[in-house]
Amino acid sequence: MSGALLRPDGTPTPSSADADTIRRRIDRTAERINHHIDRLCPSAPSDSCAAWLPPGHLRGAVGADTPALARRLHRALTVPVRHLTEAGGQRWRPVLAWEAIGLLGGDSEHCGQLIAASELLHTGSLIVDDVQDASPVRRGRPAVHMVFGVPTAVNAGTAAYFLWDRAVQLAFPDDAARCGELRAVVLAALRAAHAGQALDLQGHGEEMDQAVAGGNRHAALELVRVTHRLKSGSPVSAAMESAAVVTGAGPELRGALGAFGSAVGTAYQIADDVADLRGVTRAGVATKRATEDLRSGKVTMPLAHAAIRLPQHRLNRLWQQVRDGTGSATAVAEACQELEACGAVAACLAEADQIVGDQWTRLEPLLPSTDHDRLLYELALSIVRRDQVA
């Protein structure tokens, strides 16, 4: 992607930086975030007790061999998490938070481990998600559960959520009120994200069956939207709301930042649903198998949009091709073509742009006026429109 970014209607945005400049800025910020990930989840086994155990939890332990315990925690918790963080990823969620803190006059570097914790929380969710979906590959390498086994993967993935607690204390050791706010923001996001994951695991096949049978054609689309907003929008909303908390932003700005984060996270998931139809490669290596969701009969956004666009007989044929996850390669390929031809894919991409644009319209007037006051919007569009690598 190069040149000017576009509005949802296809017209150029008056951007302060072209896409290549945005890409370089993301990469530079991601390098700083990687440094803070290493500090929060260090590679040295000797640091593992401090990383994973709250202060004082070994005090008074009779016969505790701290170096041996640290090595065991390192193998069971640190190595599985770093297996995924070292495979790459875009780091776009913490990049947005980093830039938001700077734009609001805060010190992103001081909050570096807090920002890194949001990426490690995301990493943990990917580890667990891959177990639940039986996904063999993540970021071009075997998924964590394929290497370390399901029990270790589930435990390490969920443990990664709680590195946020350590990062909060490191960032604001003498500010109990702010620490409490930051913990509350993320706990609320975790509750919402788990509700979204519950809906995702249940699937939306029942709503598609209703549409095929001549019932409510919009039910699947509305439910997928809610699922994406809860599962994928809530964590990004929390990261942006945390940026407001650490900079002392007022309630209106805090709410607008959270809503913008939710929109970006939701839009990214919509774009990821589109990417499922095409697959994703990085340096020639597959990071997401093409049609993985479609081949498993999962109702993602393109299928849900097709439900309100196709004539009844074509919708029925499309759904029967993929419904039980047993369709042949030819049937799945034909289903992909139908999703493109009926306009469902284009509708997904337009919706992703629209929800980001709508929330930016709410947020922009509340931000400080600087040379980079459009940076968050430019970053968001770049994130949503580039190749997907979770």
**Residue ranges of domains in the chain:** 19-53+68-385
**Least confident among 97-106, 152-161, 179-188, 323-332:** 323-332
- Position 233 pLDDT exceeds 80: yes
Q: Are 264 and 277 in contact (CB under 8 A)?
A: no
Confidence band for 10, pLDDT divided at 50, 70 and 90: very low
Residue 26: pLDDT band (50, 70, 90) is confident
Mean pLDDT of the chain: 89
pLDDT at 8 over 70: no
Tell me the DSSP string of 16-41: SS-HHHHHHHHHHHHHHHHHHHHHHS
What pLDDT score does 282 carry? 59
* Per-residue model confidence (pLDDT) at position 9: 45
d(CA 15, CA 111): 28
Q: CA-to-CA distance for 300 and 82, rounded, in angstroms?
A: 29
- Look at residue 52 and tell me whether its pLDDT is greater than 50: yes
Q: What is the mean predicted confidence (pLDDT) over 252-267?
A: 98
Of 108 and 388, the structure prediction assigns the larger pLDDT to 108
Checking if the pLDDT of 16 tops 50, the result is no
Residues ≥6 apart with Cβ < 8 Å to 135: 129, 143, 292
What is the spatial distance between Cα 121 and Cα 157, in angstroms, rounded to a whole number? Answer: 8
Residue (of 316, 333, 347) closest to 221 by Cα position: 347
At 242 the pLDDT is 98
Which long-range contacts does 163-168 make (Cβ < 8 Å, 24+ apart)? Answer: 163/40, 163/41, 163/51, 163/117, 163/120, 163/121, 164/114, 164/117, 164/118, 164/120, 164/121, 165/54, 166/40, 166/51, 166/54, 166/113, 166/117, 167/40, 167/113, 167/114, 167/116, 167/117, 168/114, 168/117
Residue 385 pLDDT class (50, 70, 90 cuts): confident
Instruction: Answer yes or no: are the C-beta atoms of 377 and 364 closer than 8 Å.
Output: yes
Fold of 19-53+68-385: Farnesyl Diphosphate Synthase (1.10.600)
pLDDT number for residue 11: 41
pLDDT at 281: 58
The pLDDT of 52-75, averaged and rounded, is 81
Mean pLDDT is lowest, of 85-94, 211-220, 229-238, 261-270, for: 85-94
Tokens standing for residue 318: 């499309």
Mean pLDDT, residues 100-125 taken together? 96
Q: What percent of the chain has pLDDT over 70?
A: 90
Greatest mean pLDDT among 2-6, 233-237, 329-333, 371-375 lies in 233-237
Its pTM stands at: 0.90
- From residue 302, alpha-carbon distances to 51, 75, 232, 313 in Å are 41, 40, 17, 18
Decide which of 284 and 136 is more confident: 136
Residue 14, pLDDT score: 39
